[in-house]
Amino acid sequence: MLGWSDDRPLAEVLPKKEATALQKAFGYTTCMELLQHTPRAWSRHGSDVLADDAAEGDIITCVGSVLDVSVLQRDRTHITRVTISDGHNRFTASFFNSRWIPRVLTPGMRAMFSGKLNFYRGTPQLQHPDFLVLPGPGEKMAGSGSMKTIALYGDPDELFDDLDHIPIYPARAAMASWRIMAAVRHILATLDPVPEPLGEVPEGLVSLDEAIRGVHFPGPEGPGPHLERLKYNEALTLGLVMALRRLDTLRRDAPPMPPRDDAHRAGLLGALPYELTAGQRDVIDEITRDLEAGEPMSRLLQGEVGSGKTVVSLIAMLQAVDAGHQCALLAPTEVLVAQHARTLTTLLADAGLPVSVVPLTGSMSVPVKRQALLDIVSGQADIVVGTHAIIQDTVEFFDLGLVVVDEQHRFGVEQRARLRSKGRDGMTPHLLVMTATPIPRTIAMTVFGDLAVSTLRELPGGRQPIETFVVPEHRSSWVRRAILRIGEEVVAGRQAYVVCPRIEGPGGVLDVFDILGRGPFRDFHVGYLHGRMPAEEKDLMMRRFASGEVQILVATTVIEVGVDVPNATVMLIRESEMFGVSQLHQLRGRVGRGGHGSLCILHTLAAPDSEAYQRIHAVAETTDGFALAELDLIHRQEGDVLGTSQSGSARTVRLLNLLEDYAIIDRATGDAAALVERHPLLAQRLVLEIDRVDREFLEKS
């Protein structure tokens, strides 16, 4: 937790049995870890709380009023069934061979129940749950299971004394919510006042000490103010890391690259066969000013699929080449490397510019790779296009001045930094990162806060709209019509993609290629492409498709980004529910790149009433990538968006909601920038105190 930590071992503060049980249930060994296990809900004065979003099989804790207690005898099994209401819904708790239950649980009582959730005819059920009767004034506490463990902390009847809200914790089968509550209350009772890490309490917020205590046991004000402060701390953590990165970048030197009117950059601008959009011109001006300065450029260029990012990046690279420097273009796949190398070479050749473009990938043959490395280290290569292979220590540049990273979300900060360290004479190369996945404002601030942001919203002239349709598998006539529609486009001289979610098995690339090639498309030239093919085979297939020799390409998402075949006008995405919102939008952007109207067909196996089906329909209804980015954030876990699934920890962001907490993030981002400017040493100290795993997450996001 930013600026403070409680590193006391649980075994030194709690009864040994409870410390061992908490470690077994959650892996916790310190008081800080348990204090960060925040409640999922709070029961006001024993009011009812049911886990509405719980799934079958989850261990849940809920609060309700006992409506009815019935006893059944089946053979030798004595069953007690308790009907409970949370004020809105009803659920049942069943107990087996526990004849004492009716004496303890009686109609009108309120109690907490903890157990595994099942459903019977739509009614939630708990089988043989632990329970704890919530005592009224002057009443004794009663319960089952882990009731005995509460007594380890003292008088169980005092557990609920003076509580305005009862915390309901995420629990485990062997660790009920009230057992966690007893442990947390004991830790807080032994905790010294928490010092304010920022020196003074931020205006309008509670102190950190109040927040840590109040998020577990709030007073009449409820948990809101305490959650807000803890969320602010999380956002401030991210903001400080980004602000310190910006400061570190500004302190470095970069090679100045003033534009020239008599060199390659001007030559390309004068030879383009189309007019740049106003957005492209604005972004080029921003990049030009950055490259002229003696400080390293750190800029993110986001733009819709097909908005013209590649030509903007080439103009920037030529400004670097004109100043006598090399450029590196980092792409996530070998297919995209080959595509970029061809596109850049064609643009330069058409403009009559003698600029050398050298591809470099890990699967190149030894002689070809050796020659590429020689061209790079000698300075013969002006622009190097490669996968992460160009990050390796064996790759040495003669004078690297600009790094361009395509599809930023495929690479981490660590990879960018390694490539950026290859500058000459202590100079830091300029950095331009690009993404066709528009970034919601909160993500831009928290993950890309060290980068200036440029946005391309317009599409170049000549781009045609893409119609999108959803085709459910159970509508067999629609599926047949989709296949016929692809054939009509090919007969008309166009080309098509068929995208599959896997390589092998039913519905995979090889299976679909075989079925289509022998069946409805037997009179067409059908090819296939997937990531396990050798690099030379992938490159050959893309060249055959780009030339029109292959009319229908069955592929995995290896064609998701960067592939540019203007004659492709139709795409069928099989089992589209297997892909994310942004991924579907990226795939769809592979068609509609020429002067012809285009079509995207989203095939799905999802049930019409499912969330996945609704998500697919939302993609079909709009081609606005920025709107879809917000939708993607709704449907994805925030940890995935932030990159925590790669680093294995989501511990830096536990409470912050990237959809709902924009105001908190916005404030914390500004406060972090001001703190770094006023007190950089304090900011560095606060960041250094972040947990080691959290630091790794922040460095790799």
Q: What is the pLDDT of residues 288-324, one digit of tens each?
A: 999 998 889 989 998 877 788 999 999 999 999 999 9
Q: Is the pLDDT of residue 630 over 90?
A: no
Backbone phi and psi for residue 257, each to the nearest 5 degrees, phi listed first:
-135, 75
pLDDT at residue 510, as a whole number: 95
Q: Is 493 exposed, middle or buried (0-12, 13-18, 19+ CB in 10 A)?
A: exposed
Strands (E), 325-435: 326-330, 357-360, 383-386, 400-405, 430-435
Q: Give me Rg for the CA atoms of the chain.
A: 30
Q: What percent of the chain shows pLDDT beyond 70?
A: 90
Residue 305, SS3? coil
For residue 384, what pLDDT is reported?
Answer: 97
pLDDT value at 641 more than 50:
no
C-alpha–C-alpha distance, residues 217 and 180, integer Å = 13
Residue with more model confidence, 149 or 83: 83
> Would you call 321 helix, strand, or coil by DSSP?
helix
pLDDT at 270 over 60: yes
- 643 — pLDDT class (breaks 50, 70, 90): very low
Whether the per-residue pLDDT at 462 is higher than 90: the answer is no
Average pLDDT over residues 345-368: 93
| Percentage of residues of the chain with pLDDT beyond 90 | 47
Model confidence at 645, in pLDDT bands (50, 70, 90)?
very low
- At 287, list the tokens: 């990049």
Alpha-carbon span 579 to 509, nearest angstrom: 15
Q: Tell me the pLDDT band of 59, cut-offs 50, 70 and 90.
A: confident
CA distance 190 to 74: 50
Provide the pLDDT confidence category of residue 444 given band limits of 50, 70 and 90.
confident
Q: What is the arithmetic mean of pLDDT over 641-670?
A: 68
Distance CA 678, CA 687 (A): 15
- Residue 224 pLDDT class (50, 70, 90 cuts): very high
Tokens 């069934």 belong to residue: 81
Q: How confident is the model at residue 616 (pLDDT cuts 50, 70, 90)?
A: very high
The per-residue pLDDT for 213 is 97
Q: E strands, 152-205, where?
A: 165-168
User: Which alpha helices (H) appear in 190-333, and where do they start and end?
Assistant: 208-214, 224-250, 264-271, 278-292, 309-322
Planar angle of CA 691, 697, 701, nearest 5 degrees? 150
Over residues 258-283, the mean pLDDT reads: 92
Whether 274 contacts 461, CB under 8 Å: yes
Burial class (CB in 10 A: 0-12, 13-18, 19+), 388: middle
pLDDT at 16: 93
The pLDDT value given to residue 413: 62
Q: Is 260 helix (H, G, I), strand (E, B) or coil?
A: coil
Distance CA(20)–CA(28), nearest Å, equals: 9
pLDDT of 684 > 70? The answer is yes
Residues 395-402: what's their mean pLDDT? 93
Per-residue model confidence (pLDDT) at position 45: 58
Report the alpha-carbon distance of residue 588 to residue 576 in Å, rounded.
11
- Mean predicted confidence (pLDDT) in 6-15: 94
pLDDT exceeds 80 at position 567: yes
- pLDDT category at 149 given cuts 50, 70, 90 is confident
Q: Are 405 and 330 in contact (CB under 8 A)?
A: yes
pLDDT reported for residue 692 = 53
- Answer yes or no: is pLDDT of 161 > 80: no
Long-range CB pairs of 504-508 (<8 Å, 24+ gap) are: 507/574, 507/575
- What is the mean pLDDT of the segment spanning 205-227? 95
Residue 598, token pair as written in the block: 């285009």
Predicted local confidence at residue 291, as pLDDT? 95
What does the alpha-carbon distance between residue 513 and residue 521 come to, in Å, rounded to a whole number?
Answer: 10
Q: Which amino acid is at 225?
A: P
| E-assigned strand segments in 406-550 | 430-435, 452-456, 466-472, 495-499, 526-529
Lowest mean pLDDT among 217-226, 355-364, 403-412, 491-500: 403-412
Does the pLDDT at position 415 exceed 70?
no
| pLDDT bracket for residue 412 (50, 70, 90) | low
For residue 410, the model assigns a pLDDT of: 55
Sorting pLDDT into bands at 50, 70 and 90, what band is 341? very high
> At 638, is the pLDDT very low, low, confident or very high (cuts 50, 70, 90)?
very low
pLDDT at 175 over 60: yes
Residue 471 has pLDDT above 90, yes or no: yes
Confidence of residue 686 (pLDDT cuts 50, 70, 90): confident
User: What average pLDDT score do residues 533-547 get?
Assistant: 90
pLDDT band at 49 (very low <50, low <70, confident <90, very high): low
CATH numbers and ranges of domains, the chain: 10-191 (2.40.50.140), 264-456 (3.40.50.300), 466-622 (3.40.50.300)
Tokens of 149: 């463990």
Helices (H), 1-55: 10-13, 16-26, 31-35
Work out the pLDDT band at 334, boundaries 50, 70, 90.
confident
Lowest mean pLDDT among 160-169, 215-224, 278-287, 325-334: 160-169
Q: Is the pLDDT of residue 37 over 90?
A: yes
pLDDT at 674: 93
State the average pLDDT for the chain.
86
The helix (run of H) or strand (run of E) holding residue 143 is strand 142-143
pLDDT (0 to 100) of residue 314: 97
The pLDDT assigned to 602 comes to 97
Tokens of 112: 């907490």
Phi, psi of 325 (to 5 degrees): -115, 160
pLDDT at 525: 96
